[in-house]
Chain A
């Protein structure tokens, strides 16, 4: 991990209580091998935390913020100078967006519709920064994009995937 002058979120990971990866978003360039290592380390560290610990960890020169929602851990890596309390809000907002979209979102939704989870994330964050602070606006953008896609599918008269 190299040092950036301005604090920035480095990555966002979702994994299950068994350590299975459900989503990985990288905001800094890392090769496959490095990514795998980060995922391994994060999973081990977060899953190994005692039950009533605080949501912050230190890993190398980064702050790691994580929160468990049902059976999924949401975990992001921040620069040391970042505001970790706000990061908790960012994670929470993402969960809310997923919840709005899927309706009472659960892990299975993320598993079977992982590409949608990515699309929603890409309307909320970009380059590690919040792109839109209004829940409604994000929801509307996703809806519109989905419509665009559906139109195609209708035309093709078969589901795209």
Chain B
């Protein structure tokens, strides 16, 4: 082509282009766009198409094209549903609403409901349009306006337009009246103060024949009654709403087949349910109203067809109403029986709903619900997860002293087979129930064992200390318990809570284990070495958590006073003295120290645990919460917040804290006795020999209080403070003298230093001094200077006692002395009474 020809070609095509620009083709139609977008094979392709179309739409909007505005907004709404931004269409929706064309309005209002929300000010621009449309000559336009206002009207819009809505509520046009009623509901929800203005219009709403109006009127009345007690009272008394509703309901039930409103043979179930709901509100806490609706409720409950969901929906609402109003007992039983029948229904939705409702009523109508217990328990085997969960919760609510054995069998079976998501809750529930209703200690232990072996790894952490406490307190079956736990350990060491409880028990009762005696079942023969093998295995195993290892090591240590193979234990302990795990290392080092330097204290420290004080009886969570807080029931309030966490207590006692500071204090204050002024000195030191005798409850509290502000070393050696010393004990060559100081920081504290001297020819070794005071006092014993009292008064063992005496009672003390003299172990008890007054006043 020549240069000139090309130029002419170019000129022609330019003309064509110009022509085309003058008359842009119409924007593509909605359905076509949808079809096109659906052909996209990838997300990227779809995005490209959408972007292209959005650009076209945007330019169309810019040109203020009102012919195709509707089409463009419709397309925008489709793209919005796919998840693409469409905010640039908001104003266009407003323009559509303002248009005179019905089609425009329809799409405009739809767009407004989808794209606008009341938090943006732009929605207020609709208000005027809506106001105009509420007064439009075409009812369908009015309907659009009412619908939009009733769905998304903001508080300001509602305030502006409430008057229009109220007008329409009084119209005879049922199409508009029903919409106005629901619009009024929305207005009231947004601006409750406007409720009053709708009151007059409600006057004869219920005399309507039109079901639509009836239904929405009932909704409106429900809204008003729920929100305002005054309205409720007004409608009860002045308007006599209950008889009207009863009449309408009766007509619905009794009337013949009405094809327009029939659903599976039931006439207008939606209306029936709403009426029942309104009756519930009217009958709540009102005897007269409740009585007036009694008959109709019974009628609905007995006559409603139950083969389909629709009938059951009505029955369900009826049951809810019966349970909520002041119904007579016969009616309540009827309601619960309906729920019982629901439980047997094939439809799992119905079963689910029944379980949920029963759960709500189990507190108030416990006996009635009990009658359906076996059906409820059967639901534990249901396939549906939601039903199983409800059934489990309900089962726990139904457990009591009479059915505990049977229920527990079912619940344990459930625990075996249920999904992991249930196991933790189920285990906790079982523990709680067992604690409340256990028929015997052995049953209790067996149940716990069963839970630990089947769901051990799902058990909550706080269960371990609780179980340990329970085991400790079940004194008569210690050997049975430890034997069962030992056998469980042989089977499986992977479940940490089980392993922890077992280790603790073996450490505590290992002597019973190897003794070859057992009360409840055939005793197993097991040697000390076998036991130690198991514990060492736990220490070495990868399956054991650090906490578990700690338990195992402590257990090994405790066995040093119960077994004879002390050397082996010493070896184990020293090996772990260089463990990487800091906690384990610390324990091992301290235990080593116990062997080396404080061997004389070892037996006392590792003694059998006393029975521990229980705080609340509400099971696991309660125990954890009482840590240092509210006063435990039964204990005297003079104590500082007494902590009774068994397992950690046990470990704390054995923690020597470097051996310098605090020796464990043994206090003796049996729980149930009231405080008396210095009165009964109870058998204090008798409680100190705690080798398995069922001793009275002995709380073991932490001796932290007395350290407040006072150093652990006796600083106040100023004898010139003037309190005379005294001889507390002098027998068999052992003399113990007390010297006194008063604390400068706390006037209630007296500091006694004992000086133990020996004027025999042989030294006294393994000397241990113990003391106990009446319950209004508190005592803290620091560690002695030594446990060997040299012969012939060549030295004295000193030890510091701190006494807290807030009530300023006369100080009395019982002391227990243990020592070895001339090869034989000796022990003596004495009472020390004649304290100088300045030491305690």
A156 to chain B, nearest CB (A): 8
Q: Are A134 and B260 in contact (CB under 8 A)?
A: yes
Q: Are A6 and B226 in contact (CB under 8 A)?
A: yes
Q: Are B211 and A134 in contact (CB under 8 A)?
A: yes
Q: Are A129 and B387 in contact (CB under 8 A)?
A: no
Partner of B215, one of A20, A22, A114, A133: A133
Q: Are A115 and B386 in contact (CB under 8 A)?
A: no
B350 to chain A, nearest CB (A): 7
- Decide yes or no whether B30 CB sits under 8 A from chain A: yes
Partner of A86, one of B38, B222, B313, B350: B313
What is the CA–CA distance of A136 and B210 in the complex, to the nearest angstrom?
A: 13
- Decide yes or no whether B182 CB sits under 8 A from chain A: yes
- Decide yes or no whether A159 CB sits under 8 A from chain B: yes
Partner of A153, one of B103, B179, B387: B103
When A86-B273, A133-B215 are in contact, do A4 and B107 touch as well, CB less than 8 Å?
no
Q: Are B34 and A111 in contact (CB under 8 A)?
A: yes
Q: For residue A153, which residues in chain B have a CB less than 8 angstroms away from its CB?
A: 103
Partner of A118, one of B102, B110, B140, B387: B110
Number of A-B residue pairs having CB atoms within 8 Å of each other in the complex: 179
Q: Are B183 and A126 in contact (CB under 8 A)?
A: yes
Q: Are B260 and A83 in contact (CB under 8 A)?
A: no
Q: Are A27 and B219 in contact (CB under 8 A)?
A: no
Partner of A131, one of B78, B179, B222, B227: B179
Q: For residue B150, which residues in chain A have a CB less than 8 angstroms away from its CB?
A: 126-127
Q: For residue A88, which residues in chain B have a CB less than 8 angstroms away from its CB?
A: 309, 313, 349
What is the CA–CA distance of A115 and B93 in the complex, to the nearest angstrom?
A: 14
Closest B residue to A85 using CB positions: B313
Q: Are A114 and B78 in contact (CB under 8 A)?
A: yes
Q: For residue B189, which residues in chain A have a CB less than 8 angstroms away from its CB?
A: 4, 6, 8, 127
Q: Are A54 and B77 in contact (CB under 8 A)?
A: no
- Decide yes or no whether A1 CB sits under 8 A from chain B: no
- Decide yes or no whether B819 CB sits under 8 A from chain A: no
- Decide yes or no whether B322 CB sits under 8 A from chain A: no
Q: For residue A36, which residues in chain B have a CB less than 8 angstroms away from its CB?
A: 83
When A29-B119, A30-B117, A31-B117 are in contact, do A85 and B309 touch as well, CB less than 8 Å?
yes
Q: Are B386 and A89 in contact (CB under 8 A)?
A: no
Closest A residue to B351 using CB positions: A54
Can you list, as one digit per residue, whether each of B345-387 has a CB less than 8 Å from chain A (1) or not (0)?
0001111110000000000000000000000000000011111
Tell me which residues from 56 to 108 in chain A have a Cβ below 8 Å from any Cβ of chain B.
Answer: 56-58, 83-86, 88-90, 93
Partner of A133, one of B175, B211, B310: B211
A75 to chain B, nearest CB (A): 15
Partner of B383, one of A5, A20, A52: A52
What is the CA–CA distance of A57 and B117 in the complex, to the nearest angstrom?
A: 28
Interface size of B as a range: 35 or more
Q: For residue B110, which residues in chain A have a CB less than 8 angstroms away from its CB?
A: 115, 118-119
Q: Are B223 and A50 in contact (CB under 8 A)?
A: no
Closest A residue to B152 using CB positions: A29
Q: For residue A4, which residues in chain B have a CB less than 8 angstroms away from its CB?
A: 189
Q: Are A148 and B386 in contact (CB under 8 A)?
A: no
When A50-B385, A53-B384, A89-B263 are in contact, do A127 and B70 touch as well, CB less than 8 Å?
no
Q: Are B271 and A133 in contact (CB under 8 A)?
A: yes
Q: Are B102 and A54 in contact (CB under 8 A)?
A: no
- Decide yes or no whether B250 CB sits under 8 A from chain A: no
Q: Are A83 and B118 in contact (CB under 8 A)?
A: no
Can you list, as one digit per residue, whether each of B62-94 has a CB less than 8 Å from chain A (1) or not (0)?
000000001100110110011100000000000
A103 to chain B, nearest CB (A): 17
Can you list, as one digit per residue, whether each of B50-71 has a CB less than 8 Å from chain A (1) or not (0)?
0000000000000000000011
When A53-B386, A134-B211 are in contact, do A89 and B103 touch as well, CB less than 8 Å?
no
A10 to chain B, nearest CB (A): 12
Can you list, as one digit per residue, whether each of B123-157 has a CB less than 8 Å from chain A (1) or not (0)?
00000000000000010100100110011101000
Interface size of A as a range: 35 or more
Q: For residue A118, which residues in chain B have a CB less than 8 angstroms away from its CB?
A: 110
Q: Are A86 and B269 in contact (CB under 8 A)?
A: yes
Can you list, as one digit per residue, whether each of B305-327 has a CB less than 8 Å from chain A (1) or not (0)?
00001101100110010000000
- Decide yes or no whether B484 CB sits under 8 A from chain A: no
Partner of B30, one of A86, A133, A161: A161
When A89-B313, A122-B147, A126-B150 are in contact, do A148 and B138 touch as well, CB less than 8 Å?
yes
When A127-B151, A129-B219, A133-B212 are in contact, do A22 and B81 touch as well, CB less than 8 Å?
yes
Q: Are A54 and B348 in contact (CB under 8 A)?
A: yes
A142 to chain B, nearest CB (A): 10
Q: Are B269 and A130 in contact (CB under 8 A)?
A: no
What is the CA–CA distance of A156 and B691 in the complex, to the nearest angstrom?
A: 103
Q: Are B310 and A89 in contact (CB under 8 A)?
A: yes
Q: Are A159 and B313 in contact (CB under 8 A)?
A: no
Q: Are A129 and B185 in contact (CB under 8 A)?
A: yes
What is the CA–CA distance of A94 and B648 in the complex, to the nearest angstrom?
A: 62
Can you list, as one digit per residue, whether each of B595-612 has a CB less than 8 Å from chain A (1) or not (0)?
000000000000000000
Q: For residue B71, which residues in chain A have a CB less than 8 angstroms away from its CB?
A: 160-161
When A127-B185, A148-B102 are in contact, do A133 and B31 touch as well, CB less than 8 Å?
no
Q: For residue B822, which residues in chain A have a CB less than 8 angstroms away from its CB?
A: none
Tell me which residues from 13 to 64 in chain A have a Cβ below 8 Å from any Cβ of chain B.
Answer: 20-24, 26-27, 29-32, 36, 50, 52-58
- Decide yes or no whether B270 CB sits under 8 A from chain A: yes
B343 to chain A, nearest CB (A): 13
- Decide yes or no whether B106 CB sits under 8 A from chain A: yes
Closest A residue to B154 using CB positions: A29
Q: Are B101 and A152 in contact (CB under 8 A)?
A: yes
Q: Are A6 and B349 in contact (CB under 8 A)?
A: no
A128 to chain B, nearest CB (A): 9
B244 to chain A, nearest CB (A): 18
Partner of A54, one of B140, B313, B384: B384
B130 to chain A, nearest CB (A): 14
Known pairs A29-B154, A126-B146, A126-B150; list 6 more (Cβ under 8 Å).
A22-B81, A52-B384, A53-B348, A111-B34, A111-B38, A127-B182
A-B contact pairs, 30 of them (CB 8 A): A6-B223, A21-B83, A26-B152, A27-B151, A29-B119, A29-B154, A54-B352, A57-B386, A86-B316, A86-B317, A88-B309, A88-B313, A89-B270, A89-B313, A112-B35, A115-B74, A119-B106, A126-B146, A126-B150, A126-B182, A126-B186, A127-B185, A133-B261, A133-B271, A134-B261, A141-B140, A145-B106, A148-B140, A152-B102, A161-B70
Closest 7 pairs (CB-CB, A-B):
A85-B313, A161-B71, A132-B212, A54-B348, A126-B182, A86-B313, A160-B103
